[in-house]
């Protein structure tokens, strides 16, 4: 299989890009990408895309992610995590588990406007925010709406809180930790972060870098494009020759025999991916992403 999805367990203190560079060398592939950067101190699930599967990046990136995070109360760093410099120390005070659960419940299943951290790659006026930090330039931090689908308090011990959260694309856990701390009338910083799920992809099915030596070592863990998208997009089999020709050339098509969906994955009767199409109006669909069948493989 040339075009596939691979689940990786990223180690701590390595950038997501460094992880991809190692994989590209070991797997000897032309194109490689992923579906969401993890901070260097973070560990856990990286959904890696190989060759034609790199075209799936935006579709998988938009799916919800689940993390287990640890926060340390009463200190704040400039980066929002333990790798940064401590810029604020608060006197410790006793917090009851009941109070903690009440605060976490207030963040469960909500949408709110989150301030983007200064140490992030989000751009403001053509410059990444962390570049303002490095240059010590003042900048008004942007806000964006995020969804906290589920959040669960796990443990509290010696000023360290551990919790699990499922959230939308664009949510910064470092910022969420700061907001939780503010509700507790103090400050906090993130000490660890582990991504355990992205949509249907689970850390339980991931390989470590040590387990990957070459393409043979990942063969039984390759996920086809169709298999990887079947839970998030409706899969529609196309057999009509005229429609197949239109799809090949990226033209709009009509799909009158299916329930209207925002986006669909079109396959041929060999279950090879043809394209991802989006609904424009009624039964009319337009091409969003086409796959090169010369490089694709059967499911």
Domain ranges of the chain: 4-63+200-223, 65-186, 233-290
pLDDT confidence of residue 106 = 97
pLDDT confidence of residue 298 = 52
Q: Which residues contact 59 (CB under 8 A, 6 or more apart)?
A: 229, 232, 233, 263, 276, 289
Q: What pTM, to 2 d.p., does this model score?
A: 0.91
* Average pLDDT of the segment spanning 174-185: 97
pLDDT confidence of residue 205 = 97
Is 20's pLDDT higher than 60? yes
pLDDT band (50, 70, 90) for residue 185:
very high
Is 299's pLDDT higher than 70? no
pLDDT band (50, 70, 90) for residue 295:
very low
Is 18's pLDDT higher than 60? yes
pLDDT confidence of residue 257 = 84
Nearest residue to 38 via CA among 69, 59, 72? 69
pLDDT confidence of residue 6 = 97
* Average pLDDT of the segment spanning 109-120: 94
CATH fold for domain 233-290: 2.30.130
pLDDT confidence of residue 294 = 57
- What's the CATH number for 4-63+200-223? 3.30.2350.10
pLDDT in tens, 248-283: 999 999 998 888 789 999 999 999 999 999 999 999
pLDDT confidence of residue 297 = 53
Q: Which two tokens stand for residue 163?
A: 């919790």
pLDDT band (50, 70, 90) for residue 193:
very high
For 140, 155, 205, the CA distances from 40, given in Å and listed in that order, are 25, 24, 21
- What's the CATH number for 65-186? 3.30.2350.10
Is 87's pLDDT higher than 70? yes
Domains 65-186 and 233-290 share a fold: no
Is 111's pLDDT higher than 80? yes
- Alpha-carbon 124 to chain mean position: 22
* Average pLDDT of the segment spanning 101-106: 97
* Average pLDDT of the segment spanning 27-47: 94
Q: Which one of 39, 64, 205, 242 is the catalytic residue?
A: 39
For 157, 175, 189, 259, the CA distances from 89, given in Å and listed in that order, are 18, 18, 11, 56
Beta pairing, strands 253-254 & 207-208: unpaired
Active site residue 108: no
Nearest residue to 70 via CA among 30, 88, 99, 43? 43
Is 153's pLDDT higher than 50? yes
Is 296's pLDDT higher than 50? no
Please report, rounded to a whole number, the percentage of residues in the chain having pLDDT higher than 90. 85
Angle between helices 173-183 and 97-106 (to 10 degrees): 130
């Amino acid at each position: 299989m040339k075009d596939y999805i691979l689940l990786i367990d990223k180690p701590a203190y390595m950038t997501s890009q460094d992880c991809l560079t190692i994989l590209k060398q070991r797997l000897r592939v032309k194109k490689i990408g992923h579906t969401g950067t993890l901070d260097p101190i973070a560990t856990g699930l990286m959904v890696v895309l190989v060759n034609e599967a790199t075209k799936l990046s935006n579709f998988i990136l938009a799916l919800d992610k689940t993390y287990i995070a640890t926060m340390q109360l009463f200190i704040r760093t400039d980066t929002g995590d333990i790798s940064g410099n401590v810029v604020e120390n608060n006197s410790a005070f006793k917090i009851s588990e009941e109070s903690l659960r009440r605060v976490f419940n207030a963040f469960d299943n909500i949408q709110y406007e989150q301030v983007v951290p200064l140490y992030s790659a989000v751009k403001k006026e053509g410059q990444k925010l962390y570049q303002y930090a490095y240059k010590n330039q003042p900048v008004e931090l942007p806000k964006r709406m995020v969804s906290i689908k589920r959040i669960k308090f796990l443990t509290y011990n010696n000023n360290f809180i551990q919790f699990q959260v499922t959230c939308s694309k664009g949510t910064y856990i470092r910022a969420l930790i700061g907001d939780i701390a503010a509700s507790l009338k103090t400050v906090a910083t993130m000490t660890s972060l582990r991504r355990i799920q992205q949509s249907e992809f689970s850390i339980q099915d991931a390989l470590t870098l040590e387990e990957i030596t070459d393409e043979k070592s990942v063969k039984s863990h390759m996920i086809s494009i169709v298999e990887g998208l079947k839970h998030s997009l409706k899969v529609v089999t196309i057999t009509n020759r005229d429609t197949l020709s239109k799809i090949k050339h990226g033209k709009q098509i009509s799909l009158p025999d299916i329930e209207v969906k925002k986006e669909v994955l079109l396959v041929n009767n060999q279950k090879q991916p043809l394209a991802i199409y989006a609904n424009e109006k009624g039964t009319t669909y337009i091409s969003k992403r086409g796959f090169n069948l010369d490089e694709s493989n059967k499911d």
